Structure 1
């Protein structure tokens, strides 16, 4: 993977993995961690597990598709992103309020942020 698209894809897979990783098989979890988190190459993973690079590629593609399928059905990552955007907007609006109103509202925003 190269360039900005690769970084976007890596970030997306890592976010989806945070939400849905426990629903994957052990092998899918391991391969995704090696490739997207630890930055192993297909060849390095293949050598470690004594399988072909093509087999590693197929395992990764299948695991990515499973993650995307879970997200398309459950929308947890999308919900998380929308909630964070709303909390950031709320925090920015709170910063513009008179001092005496900030603390209780900032505490509420922090409570929302920590609820996730």
Structure 2
């Protein structure tokens, strides 16, 4: 996997973990944190938990699949992304309005940003 694809995958897993991490087993949470948050290698995780690299790899793949399954069913990450894209568009459109119209709309956009 190239560097850019690895970064995209890491970002995706981290976003999904933020939404669905508590639904994973303790072991899945720990391995994902070690690998994606703390940047441990498979070998380092394997040594820490006294299991094979292959076992770590399989735990990670299973956890990633569980996160993707939750997202496919619930769509919280996609909804979150769409919501923020909409607010950014709204703020861009507000900036193009006459100054006297901006304040109440800017306050509404700020309220929406704080709603999550």
Scaled by the length of structure 2, the TM-score of the pair is: 0.97
* CA distance in 2 between partners of 1:64 and 1:58 (Å): 10
Alignment of 1:65-76 (within 5 A): 65-76=65-76
Q: Distance in 1 between matches of 2:104 and 2:48?
A: 53
Distance 1:73 1:96 in 2: 38
Q: Distance in 1 between matches of 2:114 and 2:45?
A: 36
1:30 aligns with 2:30: yes
2: distance between equivalents of 1:87 and 1:27?
A: 37
Q: CA deviation at 1:113?
A: 1.1
Measure, in 1, the Cα distance between the counterparts of 2:109 and 2:15.
23
Partner deviation per Cα, 1:37-82 (whole Å, 9 max, x = no partner) = 1100000000111111000000000000000000000000000010
Question: Tell me, what secondary structure is at the counterpart of 2:51?
Answer: coil
Pairwise CA distance, 1:103: 1.1
Q: Distance in 1 between matches of 2:115 and 2:89?
A: 17
Deviation at 1:2, TM superposition (A): 4.1
- Does 2:21 match 1:13? no
Runs of 4+ in 1 over 3 A off after TM superposition: none
Residue in structure 2 matched with residue 58 of structure 1 by the alignment: 58
In structure 2, list runs of 5 or more residues that go unmatched. Answer: none
Count of aligned pairs between the two proteins: 116
SS in 1 for 2:40: coil
